[in-house]
C-alpha cells in the first residue's frame, strides 16, 4: 500500500498552489441595449425578423469563406437605415458575443464585444484593435495579417471576430440591403 506519509507531504503543497488560483467567471461588458445606445446614440432601433434560407446561407458562406452556423439573425434597423447586428463566434471553450453596427451604405460603424468568457484573448476588446474594422465594407479582405492586425497571444479570438465581421458584412450585402 502507498505510504501515508507520502500523501501527507503532497497535500499541503497542493493546497498552497491551489490558493494562488484565479477564480474567473464570464464577463458581460455590454448588454444588447447598452451596445445599441453606444453604437447608435441618437437613433431609434426596430427589431427585424430575418431567417436565412438555405440558399442564402450557402451564398454567405461562399462569399465570406466562413461557416454560417445559425439561420436566424438578431437584427435591428436604425432610423437612418443602418443596421445593428448581435452575433457570436466560437471562442476557445465557449462563445464570444459581439455587436456590429453598419451604416445605411453597409460600412462598418463600430464593433463591440458584449460578453467574453475565455481565459486568454480578451485583448480583442481593446478599442484600438476594434477600430481597425471602422469603415470596412463587404468588399474588404478582412483577414488577419492582411488588413486586420493580429494580436499575438490572442490569435484565436482575433481570427474568429474578424471572420464574424466578414460573415455579417456579406450577410448585409446579400440579404439585408435588399430588405
Partner 1 sequence: MFKRYTSLSVLVLAMTSAPSLFADENLFGYTYGSETLPKGRSEFYTWQTFRLGKESGDYLGWDQKYEYEWGITDRLQASVYANFNYVDIKGVPGFQDRSDMGFQGMQVALKYNVLSPFKDPIGLALYIEPGYVARDRGTGGDMDGFELETMIILQKNFLDDTLMWYTNIFGEFAWEKIEGEYGHGWGPTVFSGLTYRFAPNWFAGVEGHWDSDFDGFQAHDFQHYDLFLGPVIHYANQSWWATLSVQFNTESGANTPGSSLNLDDHERMEVRLKLGFEFDAKEAKLPEIASGKSAAFVSTK
Contact 73, 50 (CB under 8 A): yes
The residue from 110, 114, 165, 175 that contacts partner 1 (CB under 8 A) is: 110
Q: Say whether residue 39 binds partner 1 (CB under 8 A).
A: yes
Shortest Å distance, C-beta 49 to partner 1: 26
Closest CA to 122 of 44, 38, 22: 22
Q: For residues 21 and 49, which CB has a smaller minimum distance to partner 1 in the complex?
A: 21
How wide is the angle at C-alpha 162 spanned by C-alphas 132 and 127, nearest 5°?
40
Q: How many residues does the chain have?
A: 179
Nearer to partner 1, 52 or 133 (CB): 133
Nearest to 147 by CA among 105, 82, 137, 52: 137
- Where do contacts with partner 1 occur on this chain (CB under 8 A)? 1-3, 6, 14, 17-18, 20-26, 38-39, 67, 69, 89-90, 92-95, 101, 103, 105, 107-112, 117-120, 123, 126-132, 134-135, 144-145, 149-156, 158-160, 163
Amino acid at each position: 500500500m502507498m505510504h501515508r506519509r507520502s500523501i501527507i507531504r503532497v497535500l499541503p503543497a497542493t493546497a498552497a498552489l491551489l490558493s494562488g488560483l484565479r477564480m474567473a467567471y464570464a464577463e458581460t461588458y455590454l448588454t444588447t441595449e447598452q451596445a445599441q445606445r453606444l453604437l447608435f446614440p441618437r437613433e431609434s432601433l426596430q427589431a427585424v425578423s430575418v431567417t436565412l434560407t438555405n440558399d442564402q446561407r450557402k451564398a454567405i458562406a461562399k462569399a465570406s469563406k466562413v461557416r454560417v452556423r445559425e439561420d436566424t439573425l438578431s437584427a435591428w434597423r436604425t432610423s437612418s437605415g443602418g443596421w445593428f447586428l448581435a452575433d457570436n463566434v466560437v471562442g476557445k471553450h465557449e462563445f464570444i458575443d459581439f455587436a456590429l453596427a453598419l451604416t445605411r451604405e453597409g460600412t462598418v460603424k463600430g464593433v463591440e464585444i458584449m460578453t467574453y468568457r475565455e481565459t486568454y484573448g480578451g485583448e480583442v476588446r481593446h478599442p484600438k484593435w476594434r477600430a481597425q474594422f471602422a469603415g470596412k465594407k463587404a468588399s474588404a479582405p478582412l483577414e488577419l495579417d492582411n488588413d486586420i492586425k493580429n494580436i499575438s497571444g490572442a490569435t484565436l479570438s482575433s481570427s474568429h471576430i474578424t471572420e464574424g465581421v466578414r460573415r455579417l458584412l456579406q450577410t448585409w450585402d446579400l440579404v439585408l440591403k435588399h430588405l
